[in-house]
Amino acid sequence: MNLTANSLISNKISSQKSSLTPSFSLLPQIILILLTACIAFQTLSAQEKVKLTGKITDKDNGEELIGATVLVVGTTTGGKTNVDGVFNLMLPEGTYDLKVSYIGYKQSLIKGVVVKAGVLNRQDIRLATETVNTEEIVVQADVSGATEGALLAQQRKALTVQDGVSAEQMKRTPDSDAAEASKRITGVTVMGGKYVYVRGLGERYSSTQLNGVNIPSPEPEKKTVPFDIIPSSLIENLVTIKTFLPDQPGNFAGGLVKIKTKEFPDEFQLSVGSSVGYNTLTHFQVRPNYPGSGTDFLAFDDGLRALPSGLPSINELKSSATVGNARGDVLRLFNNGVYSPRSGNYGLNQSYNLSVGDQYQLGLFPLGFIASLSYNNDASYRNTSLFFPNPDFDEDIGKFRYRYNTDISMFTVNIGGIMHFNLRLSDNNKLGLKATYNRSAEDETRIAFGRDNLFDPSQDVRSTRLRFVTRELSSTQLTGNHFVTDLLGQPEIDWTFQYATAKRDEPDNRESLYSGSIEENFFSMQNFRNQRFFGLLDDKQFDAIWNISFSFTQWDGLKSKLKVGGLYSQKDRDFSARRFSFRAARFSNIINVQPDALFIPERVANGDIEFLDDTNPSDSYTANEKTTAGYFMVELPIIANLKFVGGIRFENNFLEANAIRGSFVQPVPVNGGFDQTNILPSVNLIYSIGESINLRASFSQTVAQPEMREIAPFQFDDYISSTLGNPFLVQTTIQNFDLRAELFQGFGEMVAVSFFYKDLNNPLERIVLDDIGTNLFFTTVNAIEAKNYGAEFEFRKKLNFIADFLDPLTLGANVTIVQSTIKPPETLVLYNESQGQQISQAPEAVKKERPLQGQSPYVVNLNLSYSDPQSGFNASLLYNVFGRRISQLTGVRNLTDNVEEMPRNQVDISISQQFFNSLTVKFSAKNILNDRYLFVIGEAWAERYFVGRTFGIALSFNM
C-alpha cells in the first residue's frame, strides 16, 4: 500500500481548511503614496539651482581625499571636500569645467560636466600623486552611477583579496534575501538555505559584519548570522574579505562577510515595491498546517503559545503528585487548543518594501537620512524520505535504524527595517547613527510516518510536530569620523560604538509520538516524546572600536599610511528552556485516542495520563564572550608599483559557558571555555602593472572558536536525534596563504585567478554519535589537523568583442576548486551528562581520511545578462551547482560512511522592464529545473526531497 504522509493526514487527522497568509492589495497604497509624493516634491525640478556632487579619491588606493579644492572654471563658485571626500556645489543648469587640486597631487581639469534639473548630478574624480611638477591633467567628464562598476573599482583598489555582489546585481536576480544573494559570490556556498560557507570551510570559520561591526547570531548552535533573516532590499552590497588584515577581527579563516545596508542619498529618493510568488508544490493545494496565533503573519506570537502566568516552579511541579486534579489544574493554565496538524492551503508568497531618504539643513549642519522597511512571507512544502542504517544489523530488525516518510510545511515571515542618520558638524567632522532591525518567524507543521527499529521494530510510528520559532536581530551604532588638521600628521580618526541584541524564541513546540499500524490506521500513544518545549535565547553585545590613521611619505615621496586601533567586544547570553511531557498511566483507557482528545486537563485529572515537568538542570545555561584587541599596520609602497600592507594584531579571546548537570536536589556545576591570547600577523604584497593589473600575495594567521552553544552542556531532543554540547572544546588556529592575479579590462569587466592554502590546527567539526545503539545525538569535537587548498577563477566580460550587436550581453562566471584533508583524532573528548568528561575511541567513519565537513570540491556560478539602458530592459539567466560534500560526520558504531549531500543544479531567470524612468516590472522564475535535494550514506538515500519551482512578479516605483 503506497501512502504518503499527506494522504494519511487527510484520512486520519481532522481536515480543517484554513488560509494562513493574508491577502493584501498594494495598488491603493501605491496610488496614495505617489499622489502625496508628487504634490509634496513637484517643486524640486523647478529650483533655479541644482546640486552637483561627487567624491574625490586617490587614484592609486581609492582613499577619499579630505580638503581637496574644487573650482568651477570661469566663476567664483567652488568648495572643498569633507571628511568623506565629497564635494557639493549648487549651480544653474548647464555644462561646466571643474578644476581640482590637492597638495601632493597633480591638478586636474574635468571638462564637460553636465548639470541638469530633476536628476542626480554626480561627478567622481580620481587624482594621481606627483613627485615633481607636471602639467595639468585634462579629463573629459564621464559620469556613471553603476553600482556594479563601483564595486569592481573598490575591489581593484582593495588591500585584501575580496569578492562581492552589489544591489544592482541583486535586482537582476530572483534573490530575496542575503543567503540567496551570497551564493553568487566566488567561493561561497550556502548550507541549509541560510549558512554561508566560504572556500569550503564551515560557517564557524566565517564572521559576519553589519556596517563594519560584528553582530551576534540568533541561532543557538551557530556562530554566523543566518543570512536568510536579512532581506536583499535593505542591502547596498555584500562583500567577502578572504585575506586577513590587522584592522579586522582575527576570528575567521574562510572569509569575513561584510553586509552594508543602504546609505542616505544625495537628494530626495522614494522607492516602493511589491511582489507576489507562486510555488508549484505549495500553493493551491491541500497541505499540512495548523491555526496559530492571529499575529503569526507579522512574525510575532500574540501570547497564544507563551508560558502561562502563575505556573508553579520546576521544584514545585516535580514534588507534586504525578496524577490527579493538581496536574490537571496546571495543564489548564496552558492554551490546549491544537496538538495535531490540520490540512489547509496557503496564500501566495508576498513581499513589500518602502524606503525614503533625503538631506536637510539642521541649522548650520547638513543632516542626511534614509529609512527603509521590508516585509515578505513565503510558504513552502516538501515531502521528505528519511533513512538511517542500522549499525547493528539484525535480520529480524532490518537494515535501517529509522525510515520515515515526512511531510513538512513551512510558513516563513521576514520583517526588516533600517534608519540611518548622518550629521555633518563641519567639513572635517561627521557623526552617524545607524539602527538596523530584522525579525523572522518560521511556522512549521510536520508529520512523519515510518519505522524506528531500535524503538519498536514490530510497529509503525507516527510523529508530529507543531513549531513556531522567531529570530530577532537588532543593531544600533553610533559612529564618528574626524580629520584633525591641527595635529602632526593630520590624523584621520574613526570610532564606533554598537549595542546589538539577538534573540531566538521557541514557544510551545508541541510533539507527539504514536505507534501502531499504517495499514489499519491505528495508533496509540507512546511514553516518550509527547512533549511541549519552551526555549528562549537572549544575547546582548556591546562593541567599542577605534582607528587612527596617519599619512606620510616614504623615501621616494610616495604616499604611505600608518594605522593603529583597538577593539573591545562583550557578549552575554542567557538561555532557558522548560519541558513538559505526557505519559500514559492507564493504557487501556487511551488506545487510539488522538492527541487533541488525549492531552487535555480532564484526561490528566482522571488519571488516564500524567502531565510532568521534565525540565533538567542542564536545560538552562549562561555564557559570556569577551574580545580585547589592539593592532598596528602600515601601507608602505616599496617602489612605485609594489606596495607592502601588513602588521600585527594582539587579540585576547575569552569564552565561558556555565551550566548544571545532575539533579535539582544535587546539582553539579559544569563550566566550559577558554582564555586565549593570540598574536596574529599579516603580510600582504600588491604589485600593480598599469591601471588594470594587480598581483597579490598574502600570509596571515587567524583563529576560530566554538560557539557558546557548542560548549554548553545542554541537550535538545528531536524525533530522530538529540543535540548535546561539549564544554571541553579548544580553539582552532589557522595559517592562511593566498596568491591572486586580477585584470580589470573595461568598465564592469574583470578576470581574476586565485590560489589559496590553509593549515588548521585543532579544527572543529559537528558529529553524530550513538548512545549504546539506542539514541543518536549530535555534538562537536576537535580533530588534530586539517589542510584546505584550492583555486578560484572569475571573469565578467561584455560580448561586444565578438560582434557590436552583442554589446548589451555580459557573460559572468566564477569557479572554485577545493581539496581538503583532515587528520582525525584516535580518541574523542566528549561530555557525558552523568559523569562529565568522557574519553572514548573515535569511530571508524571519523578516523578515516576524508575532506572537511561541508567542503565542496567545486562550486560553479554562471550568469548571462542582457542590459539595455536606453529601453530599460534587463534580463539574467543564472546557474549554480556545487560538488558532493559531507553534510554530517557519522560516528555511529559499525558505520564507515558519512552523510553526504549530492550535487544539485539550480537555474534561475529574471526579466525586468522599466517604464517612464520610474516604474519597473520584474518577472522571475526560481529553481526552474526543480532538481532534487539528495543526501546519501554510501549509496543509500538518507534524505531526498523537492522544493518546487517558484514564479514571481514584482512592481517597483522610484523617484
Cell digits of residue 834? 552523568
Q: How far is it, in rounded angstroms, from Cα 650 to Cα 629?
A: 5
> Band of the pLDDT at 508, cuts 50, 70, 90?
very high
The dihedrals phi and psi of 743, each to the nearest 5 degrees, come to -130, 120
Alpha helices (runs of H) in 42-166, residue ranges in sequence order = 147-157
Q: How far is it, in rounded angstroms, from Cα 16 to Cα 306?
A: 24
What SS3 state is found at 92? coil
Q: What is the pLDDT of residue 222?
A: 60
- C-beta separation of 789 from 820 below 8 A: yes
> Band of the pLDDT at 546, cuts 50, 70, 90?
very high
Q: How far is it, in rounded angstroms, from Cα 482 to Cα 492?
A: 6
Position 721 pLDDT exceeds 80: no
Q: What percent of the chain has pLDDT over 70?
A: 84
The count of other CB atoms within 10 Å of the CB of residue 364 is 8
- C-beta separation of 792 from 187 below 8 A: yes
Cell digits of residue 45? 525640478
Position 313 pLDDT exceeds 90: no
Position 790 pLDDT exceeds 70: yes
Q: What is the pLDDT of residue 718?
A: 55
Q: What is the pLDDT of residue 772?
A: 44
Cell digits of residue 471? 529570530
Q: What is the pLDDT of residue 16?
A: 38
Instruction: Tell me the residue ranges of DSSP E strands in 116-179.
Output: 121-122, 125-127, 137-140, 162-166
Secondary-structure percent of the chain, ordered helix, strand, coil, rounded to 5: 10, 55, 35
Angle at 27 between CA 25 and CA 29, to 5 degrees: 90
Position 17 pLDDT exceeds 90: no
Burial 935-947 (b: 16+ CB within 10 A, else e): bbbeeeebbbbbb
Q: How far is it, in rounded angstroms, from Cα 179 to Cα 225?
A: 10
Q: What is the pLDDT of residue 9?
A: 36
DSSP 824-870: --SEEEEEETTTEEEEEEPPHHHHS--PPTT--SEEEEEEEEEEETT
Among residues 696, 686, 789, the alpha carbon closest in space to that of 735 is found at 789
Predicted confidence (pLDDT) per residue in 64-120, tens digit: 788 788 988 878 788 888 877 888 888 888 888 888 888 778 888 888 888 887 667
Q: How far is it, in rounded angstroms, from Cα 106 to Cα 622?
A: 59
What SS3 state is found at 120? coil
CA–CA distances in Å: residue 278 to residues 26, 346, 953: 17, 10, 9
Q: What is the pLDDT of residue 700?
A: 94
Q: What is the pLDDT of residue 1?
A: 36
> Band of the pLDDT at 779, cuts 50, 70, 90?
confident
CA atoms within 13 Å, Cβ hemisphere of 122: 14
Neighbouring-strand partners of residue 902: none
What 8-state DSSP symbol labels residue 163?
E
Residues with Cβ within 8 Å of 618's Cβ and at least 6 positions away in sequence, in order, are 659, 660, 661, 670, 713, 714, 715, 833
DSSP 394-423: ETTTEEEEEEEEEEEEEEEEEEEEEEEEEE
Instruction: Supply the mean pLDDT for the chain.
Output: 81
Q: How far is it, in rounded angstroms, from Cα 65 to Cα 127?
A: 9
As a whole number, mean pLDDT of residues 852-872 equals 86
As a whole number, mean pLDDT of residues 854-869 equals 86
Calculate the CA dihedral of residues 67, 72, 77, 83 and round it to 10 degrees. Answer: -20
Among 303-307, 525-529, 768-772, the least confident range? 768-772
Predicted confidence (pLDDT) per residue in 457-503, tens digit: 778 889 999 999 999 989 899 999 998 887 777 899 999 999 999 89
Q: What is the pLDDT of residue 501?
A: 92
Predicted confidence (pLDDT) per residue in 61-74, tens digit: 667 788 788 988 87
